[in-house]
């Protein structure tokens, strides 16, 4: 194997974290901000890109970092290495409520495609790159632009799903329609496209957006019930406006709600 072979255990239900077991000279890579805790004796280093091209010289490092820049991620990643002589443990946490999904890349012929903010951490040697959408419609209306992330190699990677995760196994020619933001990732044989919802009433009053993601098998698809964009939108809608005024205050129901909740002061 090119990637380091690591053992792991996932803890928790709604707010999970994954604990990785590092043998001597084993290492993991992670996005900045996902670190939770680690044993003494693990060394932390900031590197260009994902570290998979460290043996290709300066140009390889720059190319790896440039790919991450195209996805909107930082140029740098963090590598955690066990340089001691005993087994050490390190943990990474979910950024918001949901599930951590272990991806064994050997089960998916060495490649998994995911949304750009889904990646959590992986064994050293796993490559984190970009996956260009070749069809114009996917780029313009897919909700993730022209680019998604691809995780390649022969080791373990971990991605995060918001809310509850659903795994769907699609047979050849079987199609699944999904809200564009609810896709976590899929295997390389899945055909991914965008379909117009259709219908005047659906378009203007349906409240579900103008497009579906159309996923056609064969392959495996991972779906999340609570995309971060949807969570953030609900929090924004519930937040009071400037000056402490609630957004529902201008309506009849808004004022009635204040009275019933006891928030109306005289």
Q: Give the span between the Cα atoms of 21 and 208, in whole angstroms.
A: 42
How high is the pLDDT of residue 75?
65
Distances (CA, A) of 110 to 34, 40, 71, 178: 24, 32, 20, 25
| Token digits of residue 136 | 């114009």
Residue 15 has what DSSP assignment? B
* Sign of the C-alpha dihedral computed for residues 222, 37, 2 and 125 taken in this order: positive
Residue 17 class from Cβ within 10 Å (0-12 exposed, 13-18 middle, 19+ buried)? middle
Residue 39 class from Cβ within 10 Å (0-12 exposed, 13-18 middle, 19+ buried)? middle
| Token digits of residue 162 | 């918001």
Contact 184, 222 (CB under 8 A): yes
Superfamily for 7-238? Mitochondrial biogenesis AIM24 (3.60.160.10)
Range 93-127 burial, b when 16+ CB lie within 10 A, else e: bbeeebbbbebebeebebbbbbbbbbbbbbbbbbb
Residue 171 has what DSSP assignment? P
How high is the pLDDT of residue 242?
62
Contact 194, 149 (CB under 8 A): no
Contact 197, 203 (CB under 8 A): yes
Domain boundaries, the chain: 7-238
How high is the pLDDT of residue 206?
45
* CA end-to-end distance (rounded Å), the chain: 71
Q: Which residues of the chain have pLDDT under 50?
A: 136, 141-142, 144-145, 202-203, 205-207, 249-253, 255-257, 259-262, 264-266
Contact 181, 227 (CB under 8 A): yes
Residue among 252, 186, 243 nearest 214 (CA): 186
Q: CB under 8 Å to 177, separation ≥6 — which residues?
A: 195, 212, 213, 214, 215
Is 198 strand, coil or helix? coil
């Amino acid at each position: 194997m090119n990637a380091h072979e690591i053992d792991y255990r996932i803890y928790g239900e709604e707010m999970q974290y994954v604990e990785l077991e590092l043998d001597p000279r084993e290492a993991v890579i992670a996005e900045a901000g996902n670190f939770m805790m680690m044993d003494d004796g693990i060394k932390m280093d900031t590197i260009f890109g994902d570290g998979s091209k460290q043996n290709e010289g300066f140009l390889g490092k720059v190319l790896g970092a440039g790919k991450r820049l195209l996805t909107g991620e930082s140029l740098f990643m963090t590598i955690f290495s066990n340089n001691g002589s005993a087994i050490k443990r390190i943990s990474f946490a979910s950024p918001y409520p949901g599930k951590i999904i272990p991806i064994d890349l050997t089960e998916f012929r060495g490649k998994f495609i995911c949304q750009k903010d889904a990646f959590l951490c992986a064994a050293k040697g796993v490559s984190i790159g970009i996956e260009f959408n070749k069809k114009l419609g996917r780029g313009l209306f897919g909700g993730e632009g022209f680019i998604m992330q691809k995780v390649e190699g022969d080791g373990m990677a971990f991605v995060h799903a918001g809310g509850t995760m659903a795994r769907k196994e699609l047979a050849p020619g079987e199609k699944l329609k999904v809200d564009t933001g609810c896709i976590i990732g899929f295997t390389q044989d899945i055909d991914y496209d965008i379909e117009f919802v259709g219908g005047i009433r659906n378009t203007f009053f349906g409240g579900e957006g103008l497009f579906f993601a159309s996923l056609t098998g064969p392959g495996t698809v991972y779906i999340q019930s609570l995309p971060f964009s949807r969570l953030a939108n609900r929090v924004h809608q519930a937040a009071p406006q400037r000056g402490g005024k609630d957004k529902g205050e201008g309506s009849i129901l808004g004022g009635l709600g204040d009275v019933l909740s006891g928030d109306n002061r005289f």
